[in-house]
């Protein structure tokens, strides 16, 4: 792939079928890529086996295809990328940017979730979690970017996060490490995803820097964080909150409702068309600027 081209991606975890909230993210990223004549890639983030549901990957891919959301190139599976993550960890260790940590979740929770860097003087071992060292000076730990939906966002990693885990005690790679390595590998230029990941973005931008990305490369990356679709109880639509799976045979209605939720103003008559017609209209009329910069929006009652 051309590193300077538009490369977007949708990266589901195989913890269950797609629901309305995940369809919104898939559709928005797909439409933005197609509107800009870019590539749309699908990455299966299957790096946490205890959370995965057997057969979920097959279901997710069939759901994408049945909605006309066809991806470019080969699928990327995080479960097949262990060597790349190990190489990234080795590089960070060589650069003196990582250390072992024996602190458990209860201790970190008692700190308010902001790690106090207690184990910083430890060397990397084989029986502990591994954390990434943040800059000594707070000013160097401030990461800012202009989100295409949410606007200016900044975070002081030292005071708001603390040194964060890049490999868990059970030897599984952290989400932050795996997604950063994969975004570099796939030359991802545009990331459109839910607002629940907004506060993860500064960590990923900082990791990009630690793993050798240039300032120019990092500044060229575009982020757009979508409002969260919530249910009638005010909860984010998620598998944990028992969001219903997308129903087979309802693809046209699902797409129309998702476009309406994304404030794209689809014509009422479009709802009766097939998915190819709906997507053709949506690509031509796509406007990221129409999406409100609110944290959450109620999902349609039918979902």
Binding-site sequence positions: 9-13, 45, 101, 103, 115, 119, 175, 193, 239
CA-nearest of 78, 118, 80, 85 to 102 is 118
Q: Are strands 151-156 and 164-167 parallel, antiparallel or unpaired?
A: unpaired
Compute CA distances 137 → 14, 142, 145, 158, whole Å.
39, 10, 19, 8
* Helix/strand/coil for 140: helix
Give CA–CA dist 21/113, Å, rounded. 27
With CA atoms as reference, report the closest residue to 160 among 179, 141, 135, 133: 141
Contacts of 232 (CB under 8 A, 6+ apart): 298, 301
Binding positions for Zn(2+): 101, 103, 115, 119
**Is residue 45 helix, strand or coil?**
coil
Which residue ranges make up the annotated binding site for L-glutamate?
9-13, 45, 175, 193
Annotated binding residues for ATP: 239
Q: Which of 149, 97, 148, 151 is nearest to 124 (CA)?
A: 97
């Amino acid at each position: 792939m051309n590193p300077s081209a538009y490369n977007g991606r949708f990266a589901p975890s195989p913890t269950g079928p797609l629901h309305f909230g995940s369809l919104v993210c898939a559709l928005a990223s797909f439409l933005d890529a197609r509107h800009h004549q870019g590539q749309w890639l699908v990455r299966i983030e299957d790096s946490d086996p205890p959370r995965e549901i057997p057969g979920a990957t097959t279901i997710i891919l069939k759901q994408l295809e049945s909605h006309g959301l066809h991806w470019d190139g080969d699928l990327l599976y995080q479960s097949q990328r262990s060597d790349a993550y190990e190489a990234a960890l080795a590089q960070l260790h060589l650069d003196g940017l990582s250390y072992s940590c024996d602190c458990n979740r209860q201790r970190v929770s008692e700190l308010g979730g902001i790690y106090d860097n207690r184990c910083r003087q430890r060397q990397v071992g084989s029986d502990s979690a591994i954390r990434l060292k943040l800059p000594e000076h707070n000013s160097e730990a401030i990461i800012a970017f202009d989100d295409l939906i949410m606007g200016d966002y900044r975070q002081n990693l030292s005071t708001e996060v603390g040194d964060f885990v890049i490999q868990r005690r059970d030897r599984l790679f952290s989400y932050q490490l795996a997604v950063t390595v994969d975004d570099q590998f796939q030359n991802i230029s545009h990331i459109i995803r839910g607002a629940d990941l907004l506060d993860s973005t500064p960590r990923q931008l900082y990791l990009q820097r630690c793993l050798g990305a240039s300032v120019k490369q990092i500044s060229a990356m575009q982020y757009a964080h979508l409002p969260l679709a919530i249910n009638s109880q005010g909860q984010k639509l998620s598998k944990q909150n028992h969001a219903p799976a997308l129903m087979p045979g309802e693809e046209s209605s699902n797409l129309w409702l998702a476009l309406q939720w994304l404030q794209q103003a689809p014509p009422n008559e479009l709802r009766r068309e097939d998915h190819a017609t709906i997507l053709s209209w949506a690509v031509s009329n796509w406007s990221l600027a129409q999406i409100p910069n609110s944290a959450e929006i109620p999902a349609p009652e039918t979902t």
